Structure 1
Amino acid sequence: MIRYFLMLLCYIPLVVIGQISQTVKGDIVDAESKYPLIGARVTLISSDSSRILNSTSDLDGFYRFENVPIGKYAIVATYSSYLKSSQNIVINSGKESIIQIELQEDVITTEAVDIVGRKAGDINNDMAMISARQFSVEETNRYAGSRGDPARMASNFAGVQGADDSRNDIVVRGNSPIGLLWKVEGIDLPNPNHFAVSGSTGGPVAILNNKILGNSDFFMSAFPADYGNSISGVFDLKLRKGNTDKHEFTGQFGFLGTEVMAEGPINRENRSSYLVMGRYSTLSIFQAMNIRIGTDAVPTYGDGAFKLSFPLKKGGHLGFFGIGGASDIAIKISDQTEVSEEAFGEGDRDQYFGTAMGVFGITYKKPLSMNTYFKATVAQTYDQQRSHHDFLERSIDSSVVNGETQYKIRTDSIYQLMGYKFKTYKTALYTSINHKINKRHIIRGGLNVDGYYINNQDSALNVAHTEFTTRHNYEGFSALIQPFIQYKWRVNENMGFTAGIHSQYFSLSDSWSYAEPRLGWKWNVGNGNELSAGAGLHSQMQPTYQYTYQRVDSEGNARRLNEDMDFTRSFHSAIGYQKRFKNALTIKTELYYQHLYNIPVDTYASSFSLINQGSGFQRFFPDELVNEGTGRNYGAELTIQKYFNKSFYFLATGSLFESKYKGSDNIERNTDFNGNYAVNFLAGKEFKINEKNMISAGIKVTAAGGKRYGYVDVDETVLNNELVFKDSLFNTRQFKDYFRLDIKLTYVLNTEKLTHEIGLDLVNLLNTRNILALSYAPNLIDPSAEPIAKRYQLGFLPIFYYKIDFSFNRRNKVSN
């Protein structure tokens, strides 16, 4: 595969006549009030310092550079009585570079010390003091093995586990992925992944596309009061705006999808813009063309997103945005006639599964004054999961051919086993006001209101397959209300302190969390050294479908067993140290402790706890639960990172941790997510052929502790036609450690108006056989054999793509 990749490069012309240039532009605003800064100075410095260009912002805070030769630059912004901002950018020929800059007001203006406010890796929400990472599309898009998936990119951060090739669940510091909150423009998102199972936040393929994202924030603990309904982490996504001057297009063809994106001006005079994109699964396209791809269970999925941006007078902004996707798959075991190990895995049913999600929103932003900023978002979201299973009664035909016994599987009968459709419509409102009292004191207050319309229907055959039972039959409304207030005190130029209160109420279960305090502290000791600490109380509602599960008694009366479940709650604490060196090198370490309580567990003594739910493709059907379970997570993390600077980057992360819990039997056990350690090493290097051509190579190595599991109760497994583990020995065993090596190769060719990019991601290059899980696998040849099989993760997978960026309506203006 590598040989063919290199051969392809030989057919692409490596020399283009003439110097290629591009436009760099953006806005400069006050970090707190978002008020445009007039007359701010912006400087572009080439990586070799041979070229220095200057510009200033206009009455709307807008700056612009024309005819900038392509390459790597540092962009530096300065403004009187504000701290300097500096970041690195890469300029290509196919798309203009749009860089939004926020400057922070200087507490004590001084000419003697050059203090930089915004540095590489700094997050957008400066109320966060600890356990927060910037999700930079420019940086993370270089990571090998990430497949263009924001969740898989984030799994490289210290404290985040990504040792499941089948899904992109984000496991933060040993917490269930249920605890993660996805947000965009202040609104809580439904699960933004294809083939999303109810009660989960991950999936095998992301609906989100990194091409529409700006730099976003990822929180892992003790996050500010802005964020609620999460006990694990928050992924706060920012959607970028389209180009305001010219129309630009991106097309990409690859193994994971064929996609197109367009952006450009709606009205150049008022700088309004559009951005729209769509993607469809490439394998489905091959199937429609009758091209055999080795399997009949072809996943079909499509997704899209858009953002319309309309600037208003005096820094105001009106935006419309949308994200959505749908997916389907049919796994038909009844079509299999050959005997193989794969034929036995979940080999008693045909499965049909589909999902859909979408969000449409309107956001309004307005600086009310030089010190006050208002933001409001109204959105409608929708998510749906639907499935039905057909049960197969099968047998084996045998024959002797040339003295050897050959077996064929025969399907004798098919009948429906179960079916469900879960639909949730949500109307969401987010509003906040940010007020800068003075240079030292900033306060932010706001409100989140989510109104849910839930329609859950589900029925299945009983264990004896004699009659159907209704497990969900609910239609109704509920509301989640979350007010918050957050305060920041800039004690001096080197120290900041934050305090906040978050509260929430969920009407379906009548659950209250009256006051959740949040505290944060950061001290820039000097010489690049920084200390930080944080603590807070957090709570989260349970997945909505768990409130609507019902059981019918002997008299035919239905009762929802868990509609009164309370919030799961957690106390977070963390301390950290960071050292910034020259040449974009940073070392960061954190220690943390989390106490989880109020976790739903069985009313009788058992090992069950909701703390272990949220990964995989299975729903669960519990008995009546009570909020009496506990858990604890503690550990240490280390990050050594050299941000992409000049032509090289690397990222090394490691975490040692424990994740324990107690069910209703009061016995402490390992959680499903207690791998004990996780290590990632990523590095990349760009090789410049000439001014227009570049090859880059990246490597990723991941090692992590194996998944936890227990001993199978064979008799109960046979009776229920699914795996049942012995309760007393739950999670007492562990699979062997996980290991994976990925390589990424990329070639970029810049022509006058086009940028070509060819990429090859070699996932699991060593074809390491990592165990995913045990599965129910009845053996038709030997019915007395234990119906258990090991299921393995992804083998070696080469993922290719070809991308092209181009534009038109370029304006020819004189360079600054």
Structure 2
Amino acid sequence: MIKYLLLILALVSLPLFGQISQTLKGSVVDSESQYPLIGAKLVLISSDSSVILRNMTDLDGLYNFQNVPIGKYELTASYISYLNTSNTVTVNSGRESIVNVKLNEDIVTTEEVNIIGKKVGQVNNEMATISARQFSVEETERYAGSRGDPARMASNFAGVQGADDSRNDIVVRGNSPIGLLWKVEGIDLPNPNHFATSGSTGGPVAILNNKILANSDFFMSAFPADYGNSISGVFDLRLRNGNPDKHEFTGQFGFLGTEVLAEGPINRDKRSSYLVMGRYSTLSIFQAMNIRIGTDAVPTYGDGAVKLSFPLKKGGHIGVFAIGGASDIAIKISDQKEISEEAFGEGDRDQYFGTAMGVLGVSYKKPISRNTFFKATIAQTYDQQRSRHDFLERSIDTSIVGGVESYEIRTDSIYQLMGYKFQTYKTALYASVNHKVNNRNIIRAGINVDGYLMKNVDSALDVSHTYFIKRHDFEGYSALIQPFVQYKWKINERMDFTAGVHSQYYSLSDSWSYVEPRLGWQLRLKNGNQFSAGAGLHSQMQPTYQYTYQQVDTDGDLRRLNEDMDFTKSFHSALGYQKNFKNSLTLKTEVYYQHLYNIPVNMYSSSFSLINQGSGFQRFFPDELVNEGTGRNYGVELTLQKYFNKSFYFLATGSLFESKYKGSDGVERNTDFNGNYAVNFLAGKEFKINDRNMISAGFKVTAAGGRRYGYVDVTQTEINSELVFKDSLFNTRQFKDYFRLDLKLTYVLNTEKLTHEIGLDLVNILNTENILALSYAPSLTDPTAEPIAQRYQLGFLPIFYYKIDFSFSKKNYKN
């Protein structure tokens, strides 16, 4: 078999005659007002400098390079009284390349000053000064082990970790994943992941697909006043538009599913476009190949996205977008005849779990003048989580076969243990105005308004399994209102200062955060040295289902225990240094300190704190909570990155940190996410076989401190049929350190009309056993044994895909 594969590769890699070309196009606009820049100059230089092309923007700020030979290029844009900018772009035969450029106005218009306005890796939001990273789709999709998932790609940044291999929860600087905010086109998103547990922000599989994303922003601390309702980080996503000139298609078949994407013009003359994609996956192929993915159950899921783009005159734009997905899984322990360990399920029940989310929105953008830009988005979102657990009473039949004792599990009875269905409908409105007072002063003001309709129902058997307790029974409305104003002062050509104020109000709990100041500063010196600092106060509402949790009190009255919970608050501060070298090499370090307060904890003395929630597949049911908990995160981070240039990249990140908290007992403990250190090293290189063929290889090494845990209270665990830890010893132990090596191989073949790509992502190639957690696992063979088992992260997981890009039709263009 291998010799035939080598023969095929040898044949397709033979030198082919005839040069293949493609189109590179896009727009050039003012970064603040989004006003199109007419007559901007563009220079396109190939990586070996053998091809140099020039172009200019037209009356709509558009440019178009035709007949560009496929390969890697550096695109530089310039405009009088604006700072130059450069981008690395890839041109393939299967689809046109579209690069939209934003230029910053120069505040010193002299011939002697020569500053690059926006270097590779800088974020879209001009108000950001520190703890912000650009999420470049082209850069991050090369990362090994990322599975095409934006959240897993972001986990390679310094200060960012994934909670575990089975999920893509994002832990930012030791904070709970609950603190992360997902945004798209200005509005807050519900959890954009399949199998999303209530109150979480991650899941096993992302609904968002990097094929529909433009370059986006990721914030880790002290973010601008635009962003609220988050104390950890913000993932501000941008959706790309479809190609307005040519119909293009992408098909992908892979280990995790089948994807189809189509884009093209709706009306070429008006430059309107569509982009539609869908994906469906069942993982039964894993079972057929006898590869464990952490569960014997087979999850099914599907998702899709739509983006319709309608350009208006003078730079205006209307966009219609939709994103959604649904997922289901049945973990049926009752079907098992042999003793086994189930990673995601408990050993005494069948579990049925499903989720759904969706967003439908319309955005409007309009440069009112050369100095003022207006943006608004209105959207309807929906998310749902539903589950049912059936309790199993089982026994074991033993027999002697060939002198060997064997076991077979028998299910004696099944009855429902619990069930719930949480639904949230949200109408979201975002509006902002960006006004450039002059080339030194910029003001942005706006508001976010979210209106919620919640329908939460949940009941479960009591500990004795004799009657049901209704834990949630709520249907009602609430609103979250967030106005903000942000100011930027370009003190001189090398120094910026930002200041802003954010405010927010949540009606259900009548919570106010009147004034949240945000400050930022950045100094760019000669020779690529840059200093930055930032500070701000941030707040966040609690997971919505926690407000509707109810119990019968001592007087026999049914009441919602935590309806009056206040916002959790956090003060962020950070100081950074960056050194930009030649050849796209950057060294960056940051130190930070965060003080968290107003964290919900138990009324009575306890180690419990909401600061530890948000990862995994379990909800939590605390008693009445009060906002009296505290926490602190501090650390230092280092990043050495060579952005993809001349067919090679690497990224080395490291962080040393502490993440502590205090519950209502006043004892300072490690948070669940305090691993103390995390290190990533990624590298990759492309090997050009000839003008049409390319092979790339990359790897990733990750090492991190183990997860925190405590001592199990065996007696309470057996009574409650779930894991219960000793309160006084919570998080006093730590699992062994985490280690993983991933490898990614890709082969690309460009033909006259098609681009073929074959990829193999080898996750945990050494099959390292990393402990995930302890779980409740009663033994049927030895009832006297402690009902505790270690659960492990994913073992070796090979993920392959085949992708093809092609164009349906072609249109002749004029330069």
TM, length-normalised to structure 1: 0.98
Q: Cα deviations across residues 718-762 of structure 1 (Å, max 9, x unaligned)?
A: 000000000000000000000000000000000011000000001
Kindly provide the amino acid, as one letter, of the partner of residue 563 in structure 2.
Answer: E
1:333: which partner in 2?
333
Tell me how far 1:438 sits from its aligned partner: 0.1
Say whether residues 1:44 and 2:59 are aligned partners: no
1:107: which partner in 2?
107
For residue 314 of structure 2, give the secondary structure of its aligned residue in structure 1: helix
Kindly provide the amino acid, as one letter, of the partner of residue 31 in structure 1.
Answer: S
1:303: which partner in 2?
303
Where structure 1 has 5 or more consecutive residues not aligned to the other structure, the ranges are none
Say whether residues 1:635 and 2:635 are aligned partners: yes
2:786: which partner in 1?
786
Q: Cα deviations across residues 497-555 of structure 1 (Å, max 9, x unaligned)?
A: 00000000000000000000000000002110000000000000000000000002466
Distance 1:505 1:806 in 2: 49
Distance 2:796 2:34 in 1: 47
Tell me how far 1:285 sits from its aligned partner: 8.3
Root mean square deviation of aligned Cα = 1.6
Distance 2:384 2:397 in 1: 41
Cα pair 1:388 1:420 within 8 Å, conserved: yes
2:116: which partner in 1?
116
1:694: which partner in 2?
694
Q: Cα deviations across residues 567-603 of structure 1 (Å, max 9, x unaligned)?
A: 0000000000000000000000000000000000000
1:497: which partner in 2?
497
Tell me how far 1:808 sits from its aligned partner: 2.6
2:482: which partner in 1?
482
Cα pair 1:14 1:749 within 8 Å, conserved: no
Where structure 2 has 5 or more consecutive residues not aligned to the other structure, the ranges are none
2:34: which partner in 1?
34
1:600: which partner in 2?
600
Q: Cα deviations across residues 339-363 of structure 1 (Å, max 9, x unaligned)?
A: 2344996110000000000000000
Kindly provide the amino acid, as one letter, of the partner of residue 685 in structure 1.
Answer: K
Change in Cα spacing, 1:345 to 1:478, as seen in structure 2 (3 Å) is closer
1:581: which partner in 2?
581
Cα pair 1:345 1:789 within 8 Å, conserved: no
1:60: which partner in 2?
60
Q: Cα deviations across residues 693-727 of structure 1 (Å, max 9, x unaligned)?
A: 00000010000000000000000000000000000
2:204: which partner in 1?
204
For residue 108 of structure 2, give the secondary structure of its aligned residue in structure 1: coil
Distance 1:789 1:349 in 2: 16
Q: Cα deviations across residues 772-815 of structure 1 (Å, max 9, x unaligned)?
A: 0001000011100000000000000110000000003223457x
1:735: which partner in 2?
735
Change in Cα spacing, 1:623 to 1:20, as seen in structure 2 (3 Å) is same
2:461: which partner in 1?
461
Change in Cα spacing, 1:416 to 1:163, as seen in structure 2 (3 Å) is closer
Cα pair 1:355 1:383 within 8 Å, conserved: yes
2:283: which partner in 1?
283
1:273: which partner in 2?
273
Cα pair 1:107 1:492 within 8 Å, conserved: yes
1:568: which partner in 2?
568
For residue 139 of structure 1, give the secondary structure of its aligned residue in structure 2: helix
1:375: which partner in 2?
375
Say whether residues 1:130 and 2:130 are aligned partners: yes
Cα pair 2:336 2:409 within 8 Å, conserved: yes
Tell me how far 1:305 sits from its aligned partner: 0.4
2:644: which partner in 1?
644
2:180: which partner in 1?
180
1:706: which partner in 2?
706
Change in Cα spacing, 1:251 to 1:735, as seen in structure 2 (3 Å) is same
Distance 1:161 1:2 in 2: 38
Kindly provide the amino acid, as one letter, of the partner of residue 409 in structure 1.
Answer: I
For residue 246 of structure 1, give the secondary structure of its aligned residue in structure 2: coil
Kindly provide the amino acid, as one letter, of the partner of residue 744 in structure 1.
Answer: K
For residue 525 of structure 2, give the secondary structure of its aligned residue in structure 1: strand
For residue 724 of structure 1, give the secondary structure of its aligned residue in structure 2: coil
Cα pair 1:756 1:802 within 8 Å, conserved: yes
For residue 283 of structure 2, give the secondary structure of its aligned residue in structure 1: helix
1:403: which partner in 2?
403
Tell me how far 1:49 sits from its aligned partner: 1.1
Q: What does 1:82-231 correspond to in 2, within 5 Å?
A: 82-162=82-162, 164-231=164-231
TM, length-normalised to structure 2: 0.98
1:413: which partner in 2?
413
Tell me how far 1:293 sits from its aligned partner: 7.7
Cα pair 1:5 1:760 within 8 Å, conserved: no
433-442 vs 107-116, greater mean Cα deviation: 107-116
Kindly provide the amino acid, as one letter, of the partner of residue 147 in structure 2.
Answer: R
Change in Cα spacing, 1:679 to 1:509, as seen in structure 2 (3 Å) is same
For residue 527 of structure 1, give the secondary structure of its aligned residue in structure 2: helix
For residue 423 of structure 1, give the secondary structure of its aligned residue in structure 2: strand
Tell me how far 1:366 sits from its aligned partner: 0.2
Distance 1:708 1:285 in 2: 34
Change in Cα spacing, 1:572 to 1:344, as seen in structure 2 (3 Å) is closer
Cα pair 2:163 2:615 within 8 Å, conserved: no
Cα pair 2:152 2:168 within 8 Å, conserved: yes
Work out the number of aligned pairs and report it. Answer: 813
Kindly provide the amino acid, as one letter, of the partner of residue 112 in structure 2.
Answer: A
Say whether residues 1:811 and 2:806 are aligned partners: no
For residue 183 of structure 2, give the secondary structure of its aligned residue in structure 1: strand
Distance 1:66 1:533 in 2: 43
Cα pair 1:255 1:282 within 8 Å, conserved: no
Say whether residues 1:17 and 2:50 are aligned partners: no
Tell me how far 1:283 sits from its aligned partner: 2.4
For residue 533 of structure 2, give the secondary structure of its aligned residue in structure 1: strand
Q: Cα deviations across residues 355-408 of structure 1 (Å, max 9, x unaligned)?
A: 000000000000000000000000000000000000000011111122221111
Kindly provide the amino acid, as one letter, of the partner of residue 118 in structure 1.
Answer: K
Q: What does 1:1-12 correspond to in 2, within 5 Å?
A: 9-10=9-10, 12=12
Say whether residues 1:387 and 2:387 are aligned partners: yes
792-801 vs 550-559, greater mean Cα deviation: 550-559
Tell me how far 1:113 sits from its aligned partner: 2.6
Distance 1:4 1:774 in 2: 46
Change in Cα spacing, 1:571 to 1:344, as seen in structure 2 (3 Å) is closer
Kindly provide the amino acid, as one letter, of the partner of residue 673 in structure 1.
Answer: F
Cα pair 1:43 1:75 within 8 Å, conserved: yes
For residue 214 of structure 1, give the secondary structure of its aligned residue in structure 2: strand
Distance 1:813 1:386 in 2: 52
Tell me how far 1:50 sits from its aligned partner: 1.6
Cα pair 1:181 1:230 within 8 Å, conserved: yes
2:715: which partner in 1?
715
For residue 281 of structure 1, give the secondary structure of its aligned residue in structure 2: strand
Distance 1:19 1:345 in 2: 56
Q: What does 1:606-625 correspond to in 2, within 5 Å?
A: 606-625=606-625
Q: Cα deviations across residues 299-325 of structure 1 (Å, max 9, x unaligned)?
A: 000000010000001110000001000
Change in Cα spacing, 1:597 to 1:267, as seen in structure 2 (3 Å) is same
**Aligned structure 1 segments of 4 or more residues deviating by more than 6 angstroms:** 1-5, 290-295
Distance 2:282 2:405 in 1: 40
2:359: which partner in 1?
359
Change in Cα spacing, 1:2 to 1:73, as seen in structure 2 (3 Å) is farther
Distance 2:813 2:365 in 1: 31
For residue 375 of structure 1, give the secondary structure of its aligned residue in structure 2: strand
For residue 810 of structure 1, give the secondary structure of its aligned residue in structure 2: coil
Distance 2:623 2:596 in 1: 21
Kindly provide the amino acid, as one letter, of the partner of residue 664 in structure 1.
Answer: S
